[in-house]
Structure 1
Amino acid sequence: MPSGRRDVTVDLPRKRMAAGLLITDADERVLLVDPVYKAEWEIPGGCVEADESPHQAAIRECREELGLDLSPGRLVVVDWVPARDGRTEGVMVVYDGGTLDATATKRIVVPPDELKGWAWSDPPQTARRVRPLLARRITEALHARADGCCHYLEDGVRVT
Structure 2
Amino acid sequence: MRPTPDDPDAWNAYLAEGNRTQARKRVSADALIRNPAGHVLLVKPTYKPGWDLPGGMAEANEAPEAALTRELREELGLEATLRDLLVVDWVPPHGPWDDQIAFIFDAGALDDAHAARLRPHDDELSEAVFYSVDKALELLHSRVRTRLGAAIQARQAGHPMYLHDGRTALSSHRDPE
> TM-score per shorter chain, which class?
over 0.9
Q: Which residue in 2 is equivalent to 1:79?
A: 89
Aligned mates of 2:42, 2:61 — CA distance in 1? 27
**Structure with bigger gyration radius:** 2
Q: Say whether residues 1:91 and 2:101 are aligned partners.
A: yes
1:2-17 map, 5 Å: 2-5=8-11, 6-7=14-15, 8-17=18-27
2:175 matched to which residue of 1?
Answer: none
CA distance in 2: counterparts of 1:156 and 1:65, whole angstroms:
26
Judging changes above 3 Å, is the alpha-carbon distance between structure 1 residues 95 and 132 closer, same or farther for their aligned structure 2 residues?
same
Alignment counterpart, residue 114 of structure 1, candidates 110, 119, 124: 124
Deviation of 1:141 after TM superposition, in Å, equals 0.1
User: What is the CA-CA distance between 1:38 and the residue it aligns to?
Assistant: 1.1
Letter aligned with residue 83 of structure 1: P
Q: Does 1:46 align with 2:56?
A: yes
**% of aligned pairs identical?**
34
Q: How big is the shift at 1:111?
A: 2.7
**Matching residue of 2:46:** 36
Query: Tell me, which stretches of 5 or more residues in structure 2 are unaligned?
Result: 171-177
Classify 1:148/1:56 alpha carbon distance in 2 versus 1 (closer, same or farther; 3 Å): same
Rounded Cα–Cα distance in structure 1 between residues aligned with 2:66 and 2:113:
24
Q: Distance in 1 between matches of 2:44 and 2:90?
A: 23
RMSD (CA atoms): 1.4
1:119-154, CA deviations, whole angstroms, 9 ceiling, x for partnerless residues?
A: 112233223321101000000000101111000001
* Partner secondary structure for residue 72 of structure 1: coil
Per the normalisation by structure 1, the TM-score is 0.94
Q: Is the 8 A contact 1:68 1:107 kept in 2?
A: no
For the residues of structure 2 that align with 1:120 and 1:113, how far apart are their CA atoms?
A: 19
More deviation in 137-146 or 17-26? 17-26
Give the Cα–Cα distance (whole angstroms) in 2 for the partners of residues 40 and 127 of structure 1: 12
Is 2:84–2:105's contact at 8 Å kept on the other side of the alignment? yes
**Count of equivalent residues:** 160
Gaps spanning 5+ residues in structure 1: where? Answer: none
1:67–1:107: 8 Å Cα contact kept in structure 2? no
Q: Distance in 2 between matches of 1:67 and 1:79?
A: 27
